[in-house]
Amino acid sequence: MNNIALPLILTTISGLSTMIGALIIFLSKKPNKNILVFSLAFASAIMLGVSITDLIPTAYSYLIKQYSILFIALLIILGALFTFLIDQYIPDSVNSKNVSNNRLFKIGLFSALAICLHNIPEGIITFMSSYKDITLGISLTIAIALHNIPEGISISLPIYYSTNSKFKALLYTFISGISEPLGGVIIYLLLRNYINDLVLNSILLFVGGMMSYISLFKLLPEAFKYKKYRILSISFIFGIIILFINHFCFG
């Protein structure tokens, strides 16, 4: 390959844009329910929206040509089931008697895991697109960066509020973000002979199932527990609007 520097830079920018979302932890010195509810609902709208308007339709349009809709549905269900099993069988990781803290920590952990898996194929696609057509790569980088910012919120804020550690919140967010350039590019360079559209689209469906589960069964229910329904509604609608603007401008 003649020059991978610029594609690598663009892939890194798109991945580490999650760190912009993590800056929300500096808005308040102590947990603020309004900020928490707004962030959870906003991140939920983005993650659900990305799944049902981007990941799943993209993979569906390719896979339906060769495979049945049952195969496609199975991959989505497997992603949701995988997350459900983690929820059931992995113990809480916060040394706290506060049930809310334990719930929030798990939400941040699940979000980090799902986004890491999401970022790897995303990193491969961004890198390949940028290498072949730098103009397309720049447009794709901007679009991905815009939806990665609220994904950073979905990791950092629950981790921060559950552990009271800005370092841990930033660390988990950084790991999820760096998985895009490192995971995506390294896997592509090492395994490019084995990576094909079937593999990439199957991963997209699996991650779509994970992110949908996290949004519907973790982020939103947690936001509802605080009974700030007006803030929740405004935030969720705002997330949907941002997502549509992103698709309209860069989709």
- Closest to 159 (Cα-Cα) out of 102, 231, 227, 119: 102
Which positions of the chain have pLDDT values less than 70? 1-2, 28-30, 90-99, 250-251
Task: Evaluate whether residue 3 is within a structural domain.
Answer: no
Please report the pLDDT score of residue 104 as a whole number: 87
Supply the angle between the helices 229-250 and 134-163 in degrees, to the nearest 10: 160
Task: Evaluate whether residue 200 is within a structural domain.
Answer: yes
- Closest to 71 (Cα-Cα) out of 81, 85, 60, 86: 60
Work out how many domains the chain is built from and give that number: 1
In angstroms, the Cα distances linking 124 to 12, 117, 119, 132 are 11, 12, 8, 12
Its pTM stands at 0.84
Please report the pLDDT score of residue 226 as a whole number: 92
Task: Evaluate whether residue 23 is within a structural domain.
Answer: no
Query: Could you tell me the residue range of the domain that residue 202 belongs to?
Result: 34-250
Please report the pLDDT score of residue 1 as a whole number: 46
For residues 222 and 161, the answer to whether their CB atoms sit within 8 Å is no
Task: Evaluate whether residue 10 is within a structural domain.
Answer: no
